[in-house]
Structure 1
Amino acid sequence: MPLFFEETAWRFWDQSISAKHRSALESFAADDTLCELVGSGKSAPIVRTWVHDDTVVLGIQDHRLPHIERGMEVLKEHGFTPIVRNSGGLAVVLDAGVLNISLVLSEKDNAIDISVGYDLMLNLVRELFPEATIEAYEIVGSYCPGSYDLSINGRKFAGISQRRIRRGIAVQVYLCVEGSGSERANIIRDFYNAGLQGEKTKFAYPEIKPETMASLSELLERQMTVQEVVLDLHALMGAPAPMPLQPDETDLYAFYLNRVVERNQKMLEHPLE
């Protein structure tokens, strides 16, 4: 069991099945809600697992592409719904084979450096897949590249981000567990090609090279499922009783959901479907 699971009691909320057919905007609202609850001391630290079908989550810079409308049309042609997230980073793919894990921590009493949050998630992923040599450095050619890209033999399967609200921190990772990493990268490559159409921009958008990305099933050469990883994570935590949002927490969630939906509508200029 990772040291940070041993030292404190964690709350567990599994949405790897229940959220699949719902908008990914709901997950970003959920993490904002948990940040406030944990940051204020109204909840224990939380591990939340979540999966959403066929969504591309765009960053703020993506929305500034010179031909963003055409880029989003291409995503829809691939069968994916575009949304804009309320944190940094660039476009990432969510689908039934991608497991997202959020660690929601409090810095009410002690500040937590950004690097510490990243390292906690890195250590957790290493505990989940002890048979692999997992490294953290930027994988050039991947989508949403960053210094905490997680890779095996130079091919990226995960990326880590952070969201901070009201003394709460949500450290989020997406794990490409099933399917083809390069096929997901192809979708993002098509998006950028359509969104840029060869134009030069001040911001340097990534030049996607699909061969730099893979799923864990591909990298570890064994078929695994999202649900197997969720069960392994739950066991790693000591199998705590699940605790989703409680009745007295739902009003706060409704506030954050409304804010996330309104912001997304404004950015994309169309209603949430």
Structure 2
Amino acid sequence: MTTNITPSQLHLVSQDITSASNVLAPFAVTDLFIQEAAKDKHSFLHFWTTIPTVILGMKDTRTPFLTDGLGLLKTRNYQTIARNSGGLAVISEPGVLNLSLVLPNSSDDPITVTQGYQLMTDLIQATFSPFTKEIEAKEISESYCPGEFDLSIHDKKFAGISQRRIGNGLAVMIYLSINGDQDARGRLVQQFYHASLKEDFGTNGYPSVDPDSMANLNDLLQQNWSVSEVQTMLTNAAETLFKATATPLSLSTHLGKPDVATAYEKHLTKMKTRNQDILKNGAI
């Protein structure tokens, strides 16, 4: 495990997005927590789920026929947003659990990019070690949003990791496909790229996306976990791994503090600005 990461306490936050008007909120909250981690040396476990939403990377917003791709997603009743961290398109919906692990990042002993990815990998492997020792971190090139730290079992990807850094704060973020129709998720992202790239599909760094390269954790481990059960498992594993106590934090109460509310609104405004073009296309 990365040795310079030793939070004594983790603020535990759960956020369930049930309205299209709030789909940008988790990203603003994560940025708020990164800022607070840098300033106050706090650490956070920020869990969040959403209504059916396709989360684009900034590279996706530069596809030549983006309007066609957004139109396709709209006909399938998916919201679309552009996130503020790296990577390409992923799907968030009720069977997918998102987690942001937010930590202070000392300039004297900084957490490297590789250490950040390894830290989340350690957490996932520790969480599911009673059920499998086969979780690997390696690129699954035909998955959506492929990367060096894709998490897979027998070459079937179930999770992807990204990072965001602001000043002396760091968020390591992951989505985990727990249940639902993962094959349909893969086909939808594949169809988005067909619509957005036309004859350039599968080129210029955009994945061709083979739905068969991905699977739900429940199917891979022959379990019937709910998203909330996996959240509890991850929380327990984080407490053990970090030798920390996870203390629930009411997000509504926290955002009700005047100084916090002001900071949050600034982050939310930045997300709205980032998504102006998507907003114009009616994808949010």
**What TM-score, normalized to structure 2?**
0.88
Aligned to 1:26: 25
Structure 1 CA distance for aligned equivalents of residues 184 and 283 of structure 2: 26
Post-superposition CA distance 1:210-232 (Å, at most 9, x none): 10000001111121110101122
Q: Give the AA of the match of 2:37.
A: V
Deviates more, 1:242-251 or 1:216-225: 242-251
Measure how far apart 1:60 and its partner are: 1.2
Post-superposition CA distance 1:120-179 (Å, at most 9, x none): 100101111112210010002100000000000100000000001121111000000011
Measure how far apart 1:12 and its partner are: 1.1
Q: Give the AA of the match of 1:103.
A: L
Check conservation: 1:179, 1:217, Cα contact below 8 A. Answer: no
Match of 2:68 among 62, 70, 77: 70
Q: Is 2:241 aligned against 1:240?
A: no
Provide the aligned length of Structure 1 versus Structure 2.
270
Post-superposition CA distance 1:41-67 (Å, at most 9, x none): x25111110001100011111111111
Are the structure 2 counterparts of residues 3 and 48 from structure 1 closer, same or farther at C-alpha, using a change threshold of 3 Å?
A: farther
Structure 1 CA distance for aligned equivalents of residues 136 and 49 of structure 2: 24
Q: Is 2:25 aligned against 1:14?
A: no
Match of 2:262 among 248, 251, 262: 251
Are the structure 2 counterparts of residues 83 and 244 from structure 1 closer, same or farther at C-alpha, using a change threshold of 3 Å?
A: same
Measure how far apart 1:96 and its partner are: 0.1
Structure 1 CA distance for aligned equivalents of residues 103 and 178 of structure 2: 25
Q: Give the AA of the match of 1:244.
A: S
Check conservation: 1:59, 1:89, Cα contact below 8 A. Answer: yes
RMSD: 2.3
Check conservation: 2:194, 2:201, Cα contact below 8 A. Answer: no
Aligned to 2:98: 100
Measure how far apart 1:6 and its partner are: 6.8
Q: Is 2:125 aligned against 1:126?
A: yes
Other structure's SS at 1:141 match:
coil
Are the structure 2 counterparts of residues 34 and 271 from structure 1 closer, same or farther at C-alpha, using a change threshold of 3 Å?
A: farther
Other structure's SS at 1:184 match:
helix
Aligned to 1:83: 81
Structure 1 CA distance for aligned equivalents of residues 55 and 230 of structure 2: 22
**What TM-score, normalized to structure 1?**
0.91
Check conservation: 1:136, 1:151, Cα contact below 8 A. Answer: yes
Aligned to 2:159: 158
Check conservation: 2:70, 2:283, Cα contact below 8 A. Answer: no
Aligned to 1:199: 200
Structure 2 CA distance for aligned equivalents of residues 272 and 43 of structure 1: 37
Structure 2 CA distance for aligned equivalents of residues 104 and 82 of structure 1: 24
Structure 1 CA distance for aligned equivalents of residues 58 and 72 of structure 2: 18
Check conservation: 2:201, 2:208, Cα contact below 8 A. Answer: no
Other structure's SS at 2:47 match:
strand
Check conservation: 1:180, 1:218, Cα contact below 8 A. Answer: no
Q: Is 2:58 aligned against 1:57?
A: no
Post-superposition CA distance 1:198-221 (Å, at most 9, x none): 137972210111100000011111
Q: Give the AA of the match of 2:274.
A: R
Check conservation: 2:202, 2:208, Cα contact below 8 A. Answer: no
- Sequence identity, in percent? 36
Other structure's SS at 1:88 match:
coil
Structure 2 CA distance for aligned equivalents of residues 200 and 178 of structure 1: 28
Q: Is 2:144 aligned against 1:143?
A: yes
Measure how far apart 1:268 and its partner are: 4.8
Are the structure 2 counterparts of residues 85 and 197 from structure 1 closer, same or farther at C-alpha, using a change threshold of 3 Å?
A: same
Gaps of 5+ in 2: none
Structure 2 CA distance for aligned equivalents of residues 63 and 249 of structure 1: 30
Are the structure 2 counterparts of residues 253 and 96 from structure 1 closer, same or farther at C-alpha, using a change threshold of 3 Å?
A: same
Q: Give the AA of the match of 2:172.
A: V
Are the structure 2 counterparts of residues 174 and 200 from structure 1 closer, same or farther at C-alpha, using a change threshold of 3 Å?
A: closer
Structure 1 CA distance for aligned equivalents of residues 213 and 14 of structure 2: 30
Structure 2 CA distance for aligned equivalents of residues 211 and 272 of structure 1: 27
